[in-house]
Amino acid sequence: MKWLFPILSILTAILLAYALYQALVVAPTDALQGDVYRIIYYHVPSAWTAFLLFFINFVASIEYLVGAKPSARSAAKWIVIAIGVIGVIATFIPAVQQMLPNGMRPTAVATTILLIPTSYFLIGKLFPGQRLDVLAVTTAEVGVVFCTIVLVTGPIWARPVWGVWWAPGDIRLTSTLVLWLIYVSYLMLRRFSSGSQTQVLAAALAVFGALDVPLVYFSIWFFRTQHPQPVIGGGGSMDPRMLHTLLISWMAFLLFAFLVCRSRFRLELLAREVEEAHAMASLAGSPAATSLPLHRSPK
């Protein structure tokens, strides 16, 4: 499979270049905001990608926490199944549908809910044991990078449109900053703590941090914010050329995020193997221990 990475790298570069061309040339100028709105093609896909990576981190962290005990693992499995079944059924109950934000379709909600058990079982199968923890730290690192892009491009877009760089009372801005701080704290815990419970504490922090993602996403539906109502899935409308460009940009960002996560995942696995080999050699009192490279894997 060595050929896969170069092919995906070339495809990602082509897609990123094509997305840039679409954003700057093909997509029409917004009638109200002018050309400054074109930052949406980086701001929004970065946010969607960060949310997806934090969701994967959330699932991997839960699986890591319950994986130590068979009883907890079995209970978590049935809870996830129940969430999927009950959630899908609930979205088609008229009383529940009336509670959904205006423009949000029940079928879209049901599909999103089904992703929870699907992702849970798929990630558990593909990343057994310690690979869950490696996946968690990898997606957190890359997710923080994309969340940083969101926090940087947001004020650049806001200044000419809103007249301010930052609106402190805006719930979406504040919750996004809190989300970024939580995951930065997560990475600092992994990097600077060397206790035996570091991975467990980090997983618990990741589960807590992921709870902020729905708040960020749904804040513009339930709170008065500077952000306009969503034009996708929120009852609004968007020029088809704009939507096409936005989805192309997101696809390019997803491919780029996958390549970075894949490389970081392999590097983290290798670092842990070297660290484990050095520890085993030291315990055995082998002279080879002095010849192994001293490397501390980032936690």
Model pLDDT for residues 181-191, shown as the tens digit of each residue: 999 999 998 88
Q: Where do the DSSP E strands lie in 230-270?
A: none
**How confident is the model over 82-91, as pLDDT tens digits?**
988 888 888 8
CB atoms inside a 10 Å sphere around CB 249: 26
Average pLDDT of the chain? 82
Q: Is the pLDDT assigned to residue 225 strictly greater than 70?
A: no
User: Residue written as tokens 């035996």?
Assistant: 196
Burial class from Cβ neighbours inside 10 Å (0-12, 13-18, 19+) for residue 82 reads exposed
Q: Is the pLDDT assigned to residue 9 strictly greater than 70?
A: yes
CA distances from 80 to 117, 118, 128, 136, 158 (A): 5, 9, 18, 19, 39
Model pTM? Answer: 0.85
d(CA 299, CA 296): 9
Selected residue with higher pLDDT from 63 and 227: 63
Q: Is the pLDDT assigned to residue 239 strictly greater than 60?
A: yes
pLDDT on residue 36: 85
Q: Is the pLDDT assigned to residue 235 strictly greater than 60?
A: no
Q: What is the mean pLDDT of residues 11-24?
A: 92
**How confident is the model over 118-152, as pLDDT tens digits?**
888 998 888 888 889 899 999 999 999 999 999 99
